[in-house]
Amino acid sequence: MCNVGHPSQPPRAPTQVQTRRTKQTTPRSSGSFRSPTTSNPTSELENYDTIALNMFGEAIQKMKTMGARQVMLQVLNFATVIATGLMIWKGLGLALNNESPIVVVLSGSMEPAFYRGDLLFLHNPRDTPFEVGDITVYKLNGVEVPIVHRILETHTLRLNPLKQKILTKGDNNFDDDLGLYNGREWLDREHLIGKVRGFIPYIGYVTIAMNDFPWLKYILIGILGLLALFQRE
């Protein structure tokens, strides 16, 4: 299922360089050729921790040189930025009639239409029924992550066209989504968050990286906070 959140070049042969012989030979430095080494995840995390500590240490020293009034002003500026972002998100949700107007593809079940890391924009039409072929995002009770799949089949009541029974399937899957419905035979319209209206390829990898490496999220938030605090204008 498609959840919402390179070929490498062959190694080149070493280039041979012909030099003139001399009577005295000097030992070849250890930096001439690098032997393949395996990365150590522990040492990499320690390096990241050291960089973060140094960055915050310098920030604290700089804050000590600032006046209390200047610090409070910068804190208010940062809070204004956060509040503005939340207002834009809520306004976008109201305009598009759904609680999650932007989602990220987390798997490859909708390839080749969408790939992992694509950013999707959703719209939930109020007075228009969903149709076969629409790519929708749905969420069931008890399932943490929404799923983006295509509508394979739909049944609409004559008296109320907005009351629909819907069956979905991933483009890259062999079977429909019946096994994902937790014992249900159909999706109701209420389970659908919206249909895909547009996308930006691969930009959602930033979100995926922050989910896979939570420390990256905190570093990014810290950097943004420091930038807001130390911006003089």
Helices 214-230 and 68-96, interaxial angle, to 10°? 120
Query: Which of these is catalytic: 107, 118, 177, 191?
Result: 177
Q: Is 155 assigned a catalytic role?
A: no
Dist CA 230 CA 233 (whole Å): 9
For the beta carbon of residue 141, count every other beta carbon within 10 angstroms. 6
Beta strands 102-104 and 119-123 are: antiparallel
Give 164's DSSP letter.
E
Dist CA 169 CA 198 (whole Å): 19
Query: Which of these is catalytic: 30, 49, 127, 149?
Result: 149
120 in Cβ contact with 93 (< 8 Å): no
Q: Radius of gyration of the chain from Cα atoms?
A: 27
Q: Is 177 assigned a catalytic role?
A: yes
Cα–Cα distances in angstroms (integers) from residue 214 to residues 2, 205, 219, in the given order: 22, 14, 9
Query: Which of these is catalytic: 107, 109, 118, 191?
Result: 109
Backbone phi, then psi, for 120, in 5-degree steps?
Answer: -110, 140
For 56, the token pair is 């915050």
For 140, the token pair is 């069931």
Q: Is 109 assigned a catalytic role?
A: yes
Catalytic residues: 109, 149, 177
